[in-house]
Structure 1
Amino acid sequence: MLAEVAEPGRHFLAHKLGIPVSVVINSLYRQIIYRHGIPFSLTVPSEPRTLDAEADLYEIKNYRGLLFICRRARGVSSRDTNDKNS
């Protein structure tokens, strides 16, 4: 695992979410078993999701971007989350 990815990821999990890496990995393995495959898409989109590629990059790098990825891995859409918060 690349240190440039692992260390910021560990730090974020521990300090922002309060979750140990082992819990996240265990959850991922359980989802792989449950779904019989990777629980999220590993494709690269052909086009940005918004008209502003910089906004896409910013979203990926910030907290909301990570939460989006985690929700997507769990199969929860952002629309479902927004409906619950309204």
Structure 2
Amino acid sequence: MKRKNLANGIVLAFSVIFIRFLDVHVYDMNLLFTLLLIVVLIAGLMKLVARFPSLDKPVGKRAAMITNITVVFVIFLSFFALDL
């Protein structure tokens, strides 16, 4: 697995958390607008991640597993802590 794949997973997770936080606590957005905003944010951040050549290096299985578990834990924790 490459570091780029891990970074893209982190981008997906935190984009959804960020947009959901804005939707719940800042401004109640329309569903279609929310989905469009998520798609634009994820696509833009993935293009940004693709520009870093240092992320093409491989990462070990243990590091990938720890990163994935941490991301999932942070998603659940943020949804409960931020009342999303």
Common fold, TM-score beyond 0.5?
Answer: no
> Which structure exhibits the higher relative contact order, with contacts defined as CA atoms closer than 8 Å and separated by 6 or more residues?
2
Q: Which has the larger helix fraction?
A: 2
TM-score between the two structures when normalised by the length of structure 1: 0.30
TM-score between the two structures when normalised by the length of structure 2: 0.30
